Amino acid sequence: MSHRIPVGLLLLSSCLLAQAPASAGNECSALKLAVESAQSSGDNAWMLISSALVLMMTGPGLALFYCGLVRKRNVLSTMMQSFAMMAVVTLVWAVCGYSLVFAQGSPFLGGLRYLFLQGVGAAPNAVYAPTIPHQTFMVYQLMFAIITPALIAGAFAERVRFNAMVMFSVLWMFLVYFPVAHMVWGNGGFLNAFLGGRVPVFDFAGGTVVHITSGFSALVTALYIGKRKGYPSDSMMPHSLVLSFIGACLLWVGWFGFNAGSALAASSLATSAFVATHFASASGAISWMLAEKLRNGKPSALGAISGAVAGLATVTQGAGFVQPFSAILIGFAAGFGCYFMVSVVKNKLGYDDSLDVFGVHGIGGFVGCLLTGVFATRFVNDGLKMANGQPAALGLIDGNARQVLNQLAGAGIGIAVAVVGTLIALKVTELFTPIRVEEREEAAGVDLVLHGEEGYNLEA
């Protein structure tokens, strides 16, 4: 084994010596540039991989997860809803979406500085991510914008026209996603805890921005559009739990990009978020299965994957703020809480949220938002500083009980914007096109009616 000391370490040592010769200055500068370049390259590689992982969550992850849960005559239309968002939201984001979220503007909506991605290039944006190209940060955030309206589509699966879904989703982005994302993550946003927000809310990877907004919007759409023909008396069992199982596993893997990638660097904070994400998903799956075992006598495959997704959705808000065993507790709360909403409350109230978007993402996001205020600690994330430069107390366990109220306020604002914005988007969409398919079309299956195709064409 070689015991040679690396040249870089020798140069670094020479830089630290008080009596270093003047000639070492150039070497020190070169070493500093090399270290910065290596960090930037490593961070950029991680963020590009994370971007791909988050895109994988929509297609194929969410597309497979959702399509397996519907009846076989609606499998293609369900997948198309996710796929369409990958294309449509990308163009809206490039034209003005990114600017409305991340350009500095009012506390409630961004400005137009980055319209048509002007000024979004290879140079880093020091405000958001100083070690990666601005364009990398932009495309990473795009993947969050893509999956959010795709989640909502699960609430009205099997009964909505494709063109109405696309129009509604675009309107929803302007009325709900862009304002909430700017308030939580944008420079000067009303809820941004780190960049001058008036109500500091901790949302590491989108618990409020993605899950609360999509979940409560899903409930509004389900109530507005109405129940599927024959619901709940007719059997509407998933046509392929195998597809849903594959989709759920892809979501679990992709979520590491979703949460750990939100550290915006290949750092120890990314590791912490990665661990919290995995632990919460595992405990969510176990607690949902345990709840089923206690209530029905046996755990189900659908329950296991639903619990895993619930754990992932619930820990998203606090992934970069909580310790591993706090994440386990959050996952357990997610499994039991979301199971209760899906299996008990939904049946009692009788609304038809086809794929339980509200029960899993809306309730999971809300619970995760509040529990982040409880378990957030400066020992995981020391990015918030006091006046003396020391890390500030974050959550209740740190001694900052007020943060629970801040989280509640943030969740309330997210819910209010989602409900009002969704109703407006539905009303405007209805002015231009019918939203729901006719009863005979629904009975025939929206795959043939809307797309002229069948998901399965099995010859004898």
SS3 192: strand
**Tokens 């709940």 belong to which residue?**
232
Least confident stretch, 17-21, 129-133, 265-269 = 17-21
pLDDT (tens digit per residue) in 245-256: 999 999 999 999
Cβ atoms < 10 Å from Cβ of 397: 17
- Beta-bridged to residue 248, according to DSSP, are none
Q: What is the mean pLDDT of residues 298-318?
A: 98
Q: Are 53 and 257 in contact (CB under 8 A)?
A: yes
Under the banding of pLDDT at 50, 70 and 90, the label for residue 15 is low
Provide the token pair at 272. Answer: 């912490």
**273: amino acid identity, one letter:** A
Answer yes or no: is pLDDT of 366 > 70: yes
For position 37, what pLDDT does the model report? 78
Nearest Cα neighbor of 354 from 63, 67, 60, 89 is 67
**325: amino acid identity, one letter:** F
- Cα 31 to Cα 8, 81, 126, 285, 334: the distances in Å are 7, 50, 22, 48, 48
Q: What is the mean pLDDT of residues 312-339?
A: 98
- Cα 160 to Cα 157, 222, 226, 228, 445: the distances in Å are 7, 11, 10, 10, 11
Backbone phi and psi for residue 272, each to the nearest 5 degrees, phi listed first:
-60, -45
Q: Are 373 and 346 in contact (CB under 8 A)?
A: no
pLDDT (tens digit per residue) in 167-206: 999 999 999 999 999 999 999 999 999 998 999 999 999 9
Provide the token pair at 400. Answer: 């900052």
Give the mean pLDDT of the chain. 93
Burial 171-195 (b: 16+ CB within 10 A, else e): bbbbbbbbbbbbbbbbbbbbbbbee
- Beta-bridged to residue 201, according to DSSP, are 192
The distance from CA 136 to its chain's CA centroid, rounded to whole angstroms, is: 17
For position 126, what pLDDT does the model report? 95
Q: Which domains does the chain have, with CATH numbers?
A: 44-449 (1.10.3430.10)
Cβ atoms < 10 Å from Cβ of 457: 6
Contacts of 3 (CB under 8 A, 6+ apart): none
Provide the token pair at 131. Answer: 């070690």
Answer yes or no: is pLDDT of 312 > 60: yes
Q: Are 144 and 54 in contact (CB under 8 A)?
A: yes
Distance CA 114, CA 99 (A): 5
Under the banding of pLDDT at 50, 70 and 90, the label for residue 32 is confident
Answer yes or no: is pLDDT of 19 > 80: no
Nearest Cα neighbor of 341 from 381, 314, 373 is 314
- Beta-bridged to residue 391, according to DSSP, are 385
Diameter of the chain measured on Cα atoms:
87
For position 429, what pLDDT does the model report? 98
Q: How many residues does the chain have?
A: 460
The percent of residues in the chain predicted with pLDDT above 70, rounded, is 93
The distance from CA 92 to its chain's CA centroid, rounded to whole angstroms, is: 18
Under the banding of pLDDT at 50, 70 and 90, the label for residue 39 is confident
Name the DSSP letter for residue 384. S
Answer yes or no: is pLDDT of 2 > 70: no
pLDDT: which is higher, 2 or 367: 367
SS3 436: strand
Answer yes or no: is pLDDT of 25 > 90: no
pLDDT (tens digit per residue) in 220-240: 999 999 999 999 988 899 999
Contacts of 152 (CB under 8 A, 6+ apart): 169, 172, 214, 217, 218, 221, 357
Q: What is the mean pLDDT of residues 97-102?
A: 98
SS3 158: coil
Provide the token pair at 316. Answer: 């998203």
**Tokens 């989709």 belong to which residue?**
247
SS3 431: helix
pLDDT (tens digit per residue) in 383-431: 999 889 899 999 999 999 999 999 999 999 999 999 999 999 999 999 9
Least confident stretch, 29-33, 64-68, 79-83, 114-118 = 29-33
Cα radius of gyration rounded to whole Å, the chain: 23
Answer yes or no: is pLDDT of 325 > 70: yes
For position 23, what pLDDT does the model report? 54
Q: What is the mean pLDDT of residues 363-379?
A: 98
Q: What is the mean pLDDT of residues 59-74?
A: 97
Under the banding of pLDDT at 50, 70 and 90, the label for residue 7 is very low
Answer yes or no: is pLDDT of 22 > 90: no
- Judged by phi (left if over 0) then psi (alpha if -120 to 50, else beta), residue 399 lies in left
